[in-house]
Amino acid sequence: MIVKIIMQMFFCVLLMGCNNSTKENEIKVTIKVVDSYTQKPRVNDRLTLRQAKWGIPRRYVKIGEYITNSAGVVTLKISKKNRYSFETDGLNHAFGSDEYGEGELKNNQQIVIKVVPPEKKQFKIEE
């Protein structure tokens, strides 16, 4: 009898500890990388995903790197509970970025990052 009660309590605690909060918070976002002047998709650009971590100053930890496809698109599954920074790098130091806070991103949202081509930059990068 006591063993049965202990087993029932064990299974209740086990079931209460199991949750699917990661699945509930997981969303799919599509990042489209385009040229800021021509509005054409940028193919084979590198997209770096960074997640904000608490601290003074705030740190951004690299989560992953992805390459845009022939349509200039990358599709990711991320948590809507975190703050993210999306940075894209292309040929000849072409660069674009965007940042979203906790809860700003929605499921199936498309993010458009406009990349400034190197010849249109306001400053020159010395190599």
Taking the model in full, what pTM does it have? 0.72
CB 82 within 8 A of CB 101: no
User: Is 96 a domain residue?
Assistant: yes
Pairing status of strand 109-115 against strand 26-35: parallel
CB 53 within 8 A of CB 59: yes
CB 32 within 8 A of CB 113: yes
Which is nearest to 40 in space by CA: 91, 121, 108, 114? 114
Contacts of 1 by beta carbon, 8 Å cutoff, 6+ apart = none
User: Is 53 a domain residue?
Assistant: yes
User: Is 7 a domain residue?
Assistant: no
User: Is 41 a domain residue?
Assistant: yes
User: Is 5 a domain residue?
Assistant: no
Count up the domains in the chain and report the number: 1
> What string of pLDDT tens digits covers the 127 residues of the chain?
777 677 676 655 555 555 555 577 899 999 999 988 889 999 999 999 999 888 888 889 999 999 999 999 999 999 989 999 999 998 878 889 999 999 899 999 999 999 987 776 665 555 5
At residue 52, what are phi and psi to the nearest 5 degrees? -75, 140
- C-alpha–C-alpha distance, residues 81 and 103, integer Å: 6
User: Is 124 a domain residue?
Assistant: no
User: Is 106 a domain residue?
Assistant: yes
User: Is 68 a domain residue?
Assistant: yes
Domain residues for the domain of 72 are 25-118
pLDDT of residue 127: 57
Identify the CATH number of the domain in which residue 44 sits.
Answer: 2.60.40.1120
